[in-house]
Structure 1
Amino acid sequence: MDAISRLNIVTNEVDIMQFESFVEESRDWWDAYFRHIKQLDKEGRLYPKDRKFLYPNIIVATQCKGYYLVELMGAVRSYSTLVTKRHREDSIYRYLSQFDDGEPNPVVTFDSSNNALRFLCLSQKGMRDSALARFPHLELYQTKVRNVDGHGSVLAFGDKFRSCAIENCVLVNTRDQLVRCKGILWLGILRNSVTRSELVDLFVKVTESGEIKGVHPTTRQRDARLTLAGQLQSMYLFPNLRETTLGEFFKLHPDVIKLAFKTDCFKYEPYLEWIEHDGTVTDEAINPDLLVQRPDGFFDIYDLKTALLDITRITKGARNRRRFIEYVEEGVSQLANYREYFRYPRNAAYAKDKYNVVVENPKLVLVVGTFDNVDINEVEQACRKYKNVEIVDYDTLCQMFMGSPQDNDP
């Protein structure tokens, strides 16, 4: 308790926190906490000795109507820092259910202060067998609670609710035939009328038991892979997520790219100035999301879009006129622009000198969509007019990561 108390921030009992203060103080508190845990680990004072911990490296602060949320995300072997991401969502129920903001018939209703849930799988109705195939991290949760007549968010909040903490849980959300999972490492939910003292009180009560909180405990090598896969899926199934936040996740977890795309080398967001062009280029530079090295030493070009959670199909038109929706079409056009950059010798020389990258006959890969809105046959038909263009959805990327050889687990 004394060690944790030293991390506390001086608070004003009556001041209602503005969102930016909530973000900064949450980030500073958890950063101080994990640095304390890191020091204990360095001194060999963490128990049990046979258990390994995966630490977060992203903190997502979200402002919803009536609520503030702070969520720890990521899974790395050694704590370094927390990258702060801000998010805005109209409804807390859409944030939790991943589908809509309708009034739920929940599994659990919170209606007081400092409530907590740990190590649970919460779901509405029955969980389909196909869910485990798509979301393999579900096997990590042995205790399952479901509401057979439920709908909407599995969590709800009463009039007297002030704060709660969700730790190492997974929320299984369904709508019609669709299933999504939100894996939660640690999530704090508070009324947006929260005071500084209430915020710190929640953090202190969460951590005062002496158990390490905000981390993924693992005992098997496979658990680390499952945990990271679950974090990836929770990230791309995050409603209204910005592309930059998703890209940050890949930047901070390079093993996902290396194992999924079977590469030892990739460049994240290289900044390449136009040195040579045909005179029509108005951009100063290209900034592709990823350049991924192939076995032959040359690099392919990748662009990361979002999962398009509110789109039912990424293609349109009948088979004989099958084409992509505009968002995907723009992504493919952007990739073609990147390819054109490398066709100019001075640009190619500049890229080799700056990043040691050589691009020749590149594959253009757009990562977009999920199993819910990507039909492989329709995608192949829409790709007929392109050369060396591939579409990879995020669920397939996750399966590629899970299916890669096990000896290089993160």
Structure 2
Amino acid sequence: MDDLIKKFLDTLNFNYWNLIRHTVENNKELKKTVPTFLLSPEKLIIYVGSQHIAIEYIGTYNRPISDEKQVECVLYDYSEVDNFLEEIIGVTYDKGTLTIPLNGCVDDLYIATVEATDLLSENNWNFLAQEMTFVLNVSGLFLGENFTRLRNCFFYEKNNDGLKVRNIKWMDIFPIERHDVDQDTEDITVTFPNLPLLAKGDIQYSLPEKLNFQYDKLMTMNRFIELYNSEGTSETDITRFLAEPENQFILNMAFFGSSLHAEKECKWIDNEEKPPIRPDFFVMGSDGMADILEFKLPTIKTETVVVGKINRETFSSEIHSYIAQTRVYREYFEDPRNRDFVKSHYGLEVYYPKRYLVVGRRWMFAPPEWRAIINEYKDLTIRTYDDIVDTVMGHLMS
């Protein structure tokens, strides 16, 4: 596997990235339009399947291109999964009548499950305003045999009572052939397209028009992404940024909120000596009821979020401690006297609130086991920082 990845990256570097970088360095105008993540990604994620290898670029569209040579790569081996593409996307589609093949260059594709479509409709999502290919009642996705590129594609799934959005800004998927050399060795060959020709076209790629139209909000999103990726950033730094009036659209869009209320101190009416709770945010829904958002850092102290033996997996103690904190919030609002206090002091109607825990990055939660674990928590939904960004970008593109 190490030899495969090294040769794969060396080929891309020599025949693709170096050509783009050399051209851009000699043209100041191109520096303003070429997507930053092609030359200076926050991270590269490589997925190896039984018939394909994919590389996903993580980062923002516009920011100064860094001269830093080392880029962190994350590798996932999906050789044994049934559906390589759906495993990458992390969305399970409905048992409908339509199976979608993805092949060639695919731009501005929006695919939603039936339940996700209903949720979007309930929240007044404007389908007619979409300048994209929108597909409903999808029973599955599969890849063709040729090179495939997914660019600015959105995938929607209902997750508990919320919406899960997966945005792929840029992902290239290459066919591979596997041949057994002997019992312990396998020869894997990657089929590349004409990479210099591909680079020549990609140099001219610029921001989608919708993002240009929403330039101010896009820049705010960039600041948010930069903030939670900065060394030394605290939870308070993040929540203070999101609480600023001009930035509140981020959480309102991400959670279909009509208004946002930060750090309201809630006293226990039956026990004043008990420390008050102070959720990071209450987000008011369209039904007039408030839900609770709790933020933790995008970094995880432990090496993995899922621990335990096969068929006995559970979250790490770190994640369990975060969940326990939100469980106190549920306990608080089970008492009608506490609910009356919050309503009279802050004007917030809170009754059996949904609890959202925002923590970590998507690639930290990639193993499928964690999805089964989170389903055991019926009134708790875990969102990653990538989920927040993808959902907001889905709105901005509408």
* TM score, norm. by length of structure 2: 0.49
* TM score, norm. by length of structure 1: 0.48
